[in-house]
Amino acid sequence: MNGNQCVSRTTAVPKKVKNETNKMFAENCVDMKVLDEKLGYRIRIIERLLNKEFTRNVGMTTVQYSVFSLVATNEGLSQIAIGEALSMDRASTMAIIDKLEDAGLLERRKSLHDRRVHALQLTEKGRKQFVVVDSKVAKYDSIFSAKLSEEEMTTLNLCLKKLMS
């Protein structure tokens, strides 16, 4: 988006409209120049767009999928370990695990090593559902990544890893 473009806070206005509507539209425009060159803003907008589409295509949020996939591939980990791996606070981690548990996808069991700790396990339903969900994620990811060349994807991944370090 270029800073000279006008983003309406209302609905889009058809090309052929009365002068009064044009005036109202102009008054509701937001100059985006101050944000357009900010990396954090662009990353946040991309994240919001991707998350919205991800949830629509996959049937769960990116955070729910992240927790679900880590439990699927690391059964027996504690809630704390999952939260730390995803840089999530304890309350947020517990809320996501509660949702996945309520959906019958995973369960908490007392750890064999430390009875104070809950070890996370997929349920039978969770094992079956993970195959379906992971397939949807792979399909969604390929649709998104197809917008970039292989070289651009490599560069993007390198840049994102660098920013995360």
* Residue 102 pLDDT class (50, 70, 90 cuts): very high
pLDDT of residue 156: 93
Percent of the chain with pLDDT over 90: 56
pLDDT of residue 5 exceeding 50: yes
Domain borders along the chain are 1-36, 38-164
Rg value, the chain, Cα: 22
Token readout for 164 is 């995360």
Average pLDDT in the chain: 85
Q: Which of 63, 61, 62, 75 is nearest to 122 (CA)?
A: 75
pLDDT of residue 158: 95
pLDDT of residue 115 exceeding 50: yes
- Which residues lie below 8 Å from residue 13, measured CB to CB, with a gap of 6+? 21, 22, 25
* Residue 144 pLDDT class (50, 70, 90 cuts): confident
**Alpha-carbon distances, residue 42 vs 51, 72, 160 (angstroms):** 14, 32, 13
Token readout for 70 is 């880590």
d(CA 95, CA 12): 37
> Rounded mean pLDDT of 31-48?
87
Q: Which of 39, 37, 1, 34 is nearest to 163 (CA)?
A: 39
Q: Is it true that domain 38-164 has CATH number 3.40.190.80? A: no
> Rounded mean pLDDT of 128-145?
93
| Helices and strands in the chain, H and E counts | 8, 4
d(CA 20, CA 18): 5
Using an 8 Å Cβ cutoff, are 9 and 30 in contact? yes
